[in-house]
Chain A
Amino acid sequence: MLSTGTAPPSQVLRRGAVPFAVAAVAAAGAAVLVVRSPYTPLSYGLCPSVLLLGVSCPGCGGLRATHDLLTGDLAGAWLANPLWTLTAPLLVAVWGVWTARRLRGGPPLTTPSWVPWTVLVVVVAFTVLRNVPALVPYLGPAPLP
């Protein structure tokens, strides 16, 4: 189903270089996360935003959520960072579409204009809401065991 148009193999390889480099970096990061669990205290250092500012940034719990997604613990991932649990699979899907288009040699992938603004609003709202004391149990990063 994945067609590469009428380009010669060398050109397809060149087109695929960037997407597969991105995938390789992501896979390497995923491997590190699975092997070295972020649930071990101080395995990845300290959280700067909590330490310096006292608030949870939108990425807090992201390492834990990714580790849980990779090891199949969806509930744990949701408790660690709900936004990232929803976004990570979407990003994988977007990578797939991008790579397919790029290998086929078609026009570059563009997003409608409302997408970036929606991303901004959602992330800022998530950051604010997850620091509201009443919502911390639902949106904030789960406390370390």
Chain B
Amino acid sequence: MSQPHDRRPAPVYGQEGAYATYPAPADQQPAEQPPAAQPAAGHDQPTGPSSTAGPSPAAGPSPTAAPYPIAAAYPTAGPYPPGVGPYPPVGAPYRPRNDLAVWSLVLGLLGVLGCVFFTGVPAVVIGGRARRAAAAGEADNDGLAIAGIVLGWVATGLGVVVVALMFLIVLLPVVAVGLTVPFLDVAP
């Protein structure tokens, strides 16, 4: 029996209601419903996400209520057991961009193992984004990002060396033959 405003709002930073705190169940009585009207009057659930979720971001929890962490708003399995959907488990730190550093590391490894700058350059670029995400608090694997960037640069350097070698292997014999031709006794 979920109502439209049961949906947990998207976790956008700065938006009240994303991981806002809810008033303690004991403080919630029919008279203390938040000013933004609940469409289904008569629903007197003291707990659950329907109390002060998204629709009333401006109202917020009642000032006299004690702040109440989300975890305790689920005494029984509510409509949204913790961990459903793309959101991390309730109470876990919010790290949505941990994947960036992992990709940077994997691409760097592949670059060193043979793909040279083809995956080396993306490793450096994505590693840079991963470090910015870690600095912004959206990731916690900054060390992995640094490793990815280092490997990416090594792979790019290897790629440059390979290209130079190819150049030499193909060009040098041609140049050498061209230089020696005039000095051969055999007619060209």
Using a CB–CB distance below 8 Å, which chain A residues touch chain B?
A: 45-46, 48-49, 51-52, 57-59, 107-108, 110-113, 115-117, 119-120, 123-124, 127
Task: Say whether, besides A107-B10, A116-B106, A120-B109, A49 and B99 are in contact (CB < 8 Å).
Answer: no
Interface size grouping (class) on chain B: 20 to 34
CB-CB under 8 A from A119, the residues of chain B are 106
Task: Say whether, besides A46-B170, A52-B165, A110 and B97 are in contact (CB < 8 Å).
Answer: yes
Give 11 A-B pairs besides A111-B103, A120-B106 with Cβ atoms closer than 8 angstroms.
Answer: A45-B166, A48-B162, A52-B162, A57-B114, A107-B96, A108-B97, A115-B99, A116-B103, A117-B106, A124-B110, A124-B113
Q: Is B24 an interface residue (CB 8 A)?
A: no
CB-CB under 8 A from B102, the residues of chain A are 113, 116-117
Using a CB–CB distance below 8 Å, which chain B residues touch chain A?
A: 10, 96-99, 102-103, 105-106, 109-110, 113-115, 118, 162-163, 165-166, 169-170
Closest to B110 in A: A123
**A57–B99 CB distance below 8 A:** no
Choose from A46, A57, A117, A123 the contact partner of B166 (Cβ within 8 Å).
A46
Task: Give the most central of B102, B105, B163, B169: most A CB within 10 Å.
Answer: B102
CB-CB under 8 A from A123, the residues of chain B are 110
Task: Say whether, besides A107-B96, A113-B98, A120 and B166 are in contact (CB < 8 Å).
Answer: no
Closest to A53 in B: B114
Give the CA-CA distance A124 to B106 in the complex, in Å.
11
CB-CB under 8 A from B106, the residues of chain A are 116-117, 119-120
CB-CB under 8 A from B109, the residues of chain A are 120
CB-CB under 8 A from A113, the residues of chain B are 98-99, 102
Give the CA-CA distance A117 to B118 in the complex, in Å.
18
Task: Give the most central of B105, B106, B109: most A CB within 10 Å.
Answer: B106
Give the CA-CA distance A120 to B123 in the complex, in Å.
13
